[in-house]
């Protein structure tokens, strides 16, 4: 009994003298700044206005999150391939970067419930005569490296056993290559496809139909061991929907029918 009492006393003393470990949520609040990784060549989710200021759905979402935390948002421009490296290197606190919630990524980072959902669309160079996803077989196609659609499209080209897949660093690179005839078609989110066609910066391209890929649910992400912050982020996403803010941002930046964030047969 004496040994147990002594051991308990040592543990208690250690607890009293050891400094409390602040988790990432505390760190962010204490610093007064939330650093968000955002992709800024991915309209309408992220881009720059005529004054070079970051704008878009993801930019507003980061600003909303910072406001809820009572801190200032810092938008850190992060290309698609650099999203997770930016977090792992400590450059950012949270990814608000249209990041697909794959099991492979979840081995490295902590991912939230979906905050946005994308459907996939085919955009083609009008000179190719491509009118559907099936027409892409045997053609030269491309997409942004590391994205959900790029992985799915490259796999499809291999299954077809015909054609060529080319990866690009940014969405702008993809649509420029498409407009210049370097590739015949691409698969991207329908929101991005429509936004790029509407800009008029990429003449000779058109959205020609849907791609038969799964709905791309995207999540916020942070360090996987930061359970307190992940819990907060999940509740924040929930609140964005419940308060109508998600619908407001969707109408502002995308328009049309609001996609459900619920996964059929899993949760509502």
Q: Which residue has the tokens 């959902």?
A: 117
Note whether 261 and 115 are within 8 A (CB). Answer: yes
Q: Which residue has the tokens 């996987």?
A: 224
Tokens (6 digits) for 252:
């502002």
Per-residue pLDDT of the chain (268 residues; tens, 9 = 90+): 444 444 444 444 444 444 445 699 999 999 999 999 999 988 899 999 999 999 999 999 999 999 999 999 999 999 989 999 999 999 999 999 999 999 999 999 999 999 999 989 999 999 999 999 999 999 999 999 988 899 999 999 999 999 999 999 988 899 999 999 999 999 998 888 988 888 889 999 999 999 999 888 999 999 999 999 999 999 999 999 999 999 999 999 988 788 889 887 787 6
Alpha-carbon distance of 247 to 257, in angstroms, equals 10
Q: Is the dihedral of CA 202, 130, 156, 264 positive or negative?
A: positive
The whole-model pTM stands at 0.76
Q: Is the dihedral of CA 132, 134, 139, 145 positive or negative?
A: positive
pLDDT of residue 268: 66
| Backbone φ and ψ of 263, nearest 5° | -95, 120
């Amino acid at each position: 009994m004496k040994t147990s009492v002594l051991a308990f006393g040592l543990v208690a003393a250690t607890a009293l003298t050891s400094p409390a470990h602040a988790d990432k949520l505390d760190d962010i609040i204490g610093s007064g700044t939330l650093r968000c990784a955002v992709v800024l060549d991915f309209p309408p989710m992220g881009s720059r206005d005529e004054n070079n200021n970051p704008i878009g759905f993801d930019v507003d979402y980061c600003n909303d999150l910072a406001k809820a935390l009572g801190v200032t948002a810092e938008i850190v421009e992060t290309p698609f391939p650099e999203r997770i490296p930016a977090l792992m290197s400590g450059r950012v606190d949270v990814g608000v970067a249209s990041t697909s919630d794959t099991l492979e990524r979840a081995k490295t980072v902590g991912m939230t419930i979906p905050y946005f959902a994308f459907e996939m669309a085919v955009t083609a160079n009008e000179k190719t005569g491509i009118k559907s996803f099936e027409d892409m077989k045997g053609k030269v196609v491309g997409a942004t490296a590391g994205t959900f659609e790029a992985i799915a499209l490259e796999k499809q080209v291999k299954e077809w056993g015909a054609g060529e897949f080319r990866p690009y660093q940014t969405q702008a690179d993809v649509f420029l290559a498409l407009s210049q005839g370097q590739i015949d078609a691409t698969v991207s989110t329908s929101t991005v496809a429509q936004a790029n066609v509407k800009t008029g910066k990429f003449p000779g391209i058109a959205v020609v139909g849907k791609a038969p890929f799964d709905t791309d649910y995207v999540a916020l992400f942070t360090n996987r061991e930061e359970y307190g912050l992940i819990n907060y982020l999940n509740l924040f996403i929930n609140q964005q929907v419940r308060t109508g803010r998600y619908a407001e941002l969707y109408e502002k930046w995308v328009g049309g029918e609001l996609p459900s964030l619920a996964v059929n047969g899993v949760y509502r």
